[in-house]
Amino acid sequence: MDFWNRYKKNKLALTGSAIVVFFFLLSIFAPWISPYDPGAINLQIVLSPPSAAHPLGTDQLGRDVLSRTIWGSQISLKVGFVSTGIAILIGMVLGAVAGYYGRWVDTLIMRAVDIMLCFPTFFLILAVIAFLEPSIWNIMIIIGLTGWMGITRLVRADFISLKERDFVQAARAIGAGDFRIIFSHLLPNAMASLLVAATFGIAGAILTESALSFLGIGVQPPTPSWGNILTDGKDNIDIAWWLSLYPGMAILLTVLGYNLLGEGIRDTLDPRLKS
């Protein structure tokens, strides 16, 4: 209740929450609210502008853009949640081990983090994708495997601070082992930082997937994703502006929603802002 009472005072955070919930429900109920089959081709209505029958127009194959945008939300959110989950898991374990044990273990892990950070993440993803089949599962795994470094640093910093607290010393005094201290005492106290990092990570993963699909090496047609709908819009920008506008707005709103949500949670959990 204390968290909610402070969180609901942040209007931008509530706006972000509403956007996140909207697109989450949109992806869940896509099979029921989508007016058309997203893969249905109708060459008689190719590149039709927005109308009552097709509120967001049609693409170069006569497919309904609204239906494809709705179904594309499933792809984007799936990539966002799964890839961020992979990154959180890896970063959480490595950061916990580095922060708790310190010394040579910490040095080894943090040098690995530094090496990974030397490579531009997006170009590293492009290089790996070039050797693999471009599929949604490969995209999710690669984004997850290249997004754990910041989380590792975050968890490590929390563990270095927390492991000297009195409750950890008390746990050691009663004979608790390292595994129990890490996962039962330290990690729950670092979950607030992980939650904030996860919301920002989902936004970044959605943006990365859209960029990869836009370049043609992400989710492949005919599976609809916001990125490959934008690719169709690029090819027909002079005569079909709606192909670029609406999926672009969907990406913008989704990323904005998760960023506002993350900032709202961070501000609410910040003890310096508590009254």
Rg (CA), the chain: 22
Distance (Å, rounded) from C-alpha 7 to C-alpha 85? 24
Pick 222 or 30 by higher pLDDT.
30
Residue 48 DSSP symbol? P
| Tally of domains in the chain | 1
Q: Is residue 269 predicted with pLDDT exceeding 90? A: no
| Residue 243 is assigned to a structural domain of this protein | yes
**Cβ within 8 Å of residue 236, ≥6 positions away:** 47, 59, 60, 243
Angle at the Cα of 84 (from 263 to 254), degrees rounded to 5? 50
Distance (Å, rounded) from C-alpha 172 to C-alpha 44? 74
Q: Is residue 272 predicted with pLDDT exceeding 80? A: no
| Residue 47 is assigned to a structural domain of this protein | no
Residue 18 binned pLDDT confidence (cut-offs 50, 70, 90) = very high
| Residue 16 is assigned to a structural domain of this protein | yes
Q: What are phi and psi of 64, to 5 degrees?
A: -70, 120
* HSE, side-chain direction, 13 A CA sphere, residue 261: 21
Q: Is residue 139 predicted with pLDDT exceeding 70? A: yes
Instruction: Note the pLDDT of residue 178.
Output: 79
**Cβ within 8 Å of residue 160, ≥6 positions away:** 99, 102
Distance (Å, rounded) from C-alpha 217 to C-alpha 208? 11
Which among 185, 240, 273, 245 has a CA at the least distance from the CA of 48? 240
Number of Cβ within 10 Å of residue 118's Cβ equals 8
| Residue 110 is assigned to a structural domain of this protein | yes
| Residue 95 is assigned to a structural domain of this protein | yes
Please report where in the chains the tokens 């590293």 appear, as a residue.
Answer: 124
To the nearest whole percent, how much of the chain has pLDDT over 70?
A: 97
Q: Residue 135: give its domain's CATH number.
A: 1.10.3720.10
Residue 209 CA to its chain's centroid (Å): 9
Contact in structure between 181 and 68 (CB atoms under 8 Å):
no
Q: Which amino acid is at 76?
A: S
Q: Is residue 248 predicted with pLDDT exceeding 60? A: yes
Instruction: Note the pLDDT of residue 213.
Output: 83
Q: Which amino acid is at 104?
A: W
| Residue 53 is assigned to a structural domain of this protein | no
pLDDT tens digits, one per residue of 140-173 = 888 888 888 989 999 998 888 888 788 888 877 8
Q: Is residue 224 predicted with pLDDT exceeding 70? A: yes
Number of Cβ within 10 Å of residue 164's Cβ equals 8
Mean pLDDT of the chain, nearest integer: 85
Distance (Å, rounded) from C-alpha 143 to C-alpha 95? 19
Instruction: Note the pLDDT of residue 70.
Output: 92
Copy the structure tokens of residue 16.
């972000």
Pick 84 or 176 by higher pLDDT.
84
Instruction: Note the pLDDT of residue 274.
Output: 52
Residue 108 binned pLDDT confidence (cut-offs 50, 70, 90) = very high
Instruction: Note the pLDDT of residue 140.
Output: 87
| Residue 84 is assigned to a structural domain of this protein | yes
pLDDT tens digits, one per residue of 190-216 = 887 888 888 889 988 888 888 888 888
Which among 246, 217, 260, 239 has a CA at the least distance from the CA of 72? 246
Give me the domain span that covers residue 186.
2-36+58-273
Q: Is residue 188 predicted with pLDDT exceeding 60? A: yes
| Residue 48 is assigned to a structural domain of this protein | no
